[in-house]
Amino acid sequence: MEIILTENINNLGQKDEIVEVADGYARNFLIPKNLALKATPGNVKQCKEKKKLIQQKREKGKFKALRVAEKLRGVRLVLEREMGEEGKLFGVVTSQDIVQEIKKRFSLEIDHRKVNLDEPIRVIGIKKVSLKLHLEVEIDLEVELKKCEKNTKRAQNG
């Protein structure tokens, strides 16, 4: 019997794939557990339409990611943070800080989970950070962390 899988099933196939299985396996296990549908002409047509919509959505997401990547290509983000007397940084720079700076400078909304930052930045200097904007679109940014100038002036005047 031909069926359309509604879930990924090991050793059988991926979601929305049409596969051939034994009649009993389909009727007694897959269909009752909502893991599959009979591959009727209507269900096959609906599945193909669904796949087409998913592909269009994926292409649209890739196009948007490419536009964002063009705006950010070769950019160096400069973040200023306070430092203590011994040159130690107060706090850390996280993916949220990087996303906020991008939003402030470029008016671009990026999810902080798309910033590949192994660990928060804790030292002054330049660090390369990659943004995975889409499955097929990834770019590198330079994040420069500087000592905040405003606080040093305040400390000298105070």
Q: Locate the domains of the chain by residue range.
A: 2-64, 69-157
Phi and psi, residue 80, nearest 5°: -110, 135
Q: Does residue 87 carry a pLDDT above 70?
A: no
pLDDT band at residue 31, thresholds of 50, 70 and 90?
very high
Q: Does residue 125 register a pLDDT over 90?
A: no
pLDDT (mean) for 30-35: 95
Residue 107's SS3 state is coil
pTM of the model: 0.69
CATH homologous superfamily of 2-64 equals: Ribosomal protein L9, N-terminal domain (3.40.5.10)
Domain 69-157, classified CATH 3.30.360.10, yes or no: no
Residue 31: what are its φ and ψ, rounded to 5°?
Answer: -70, -45
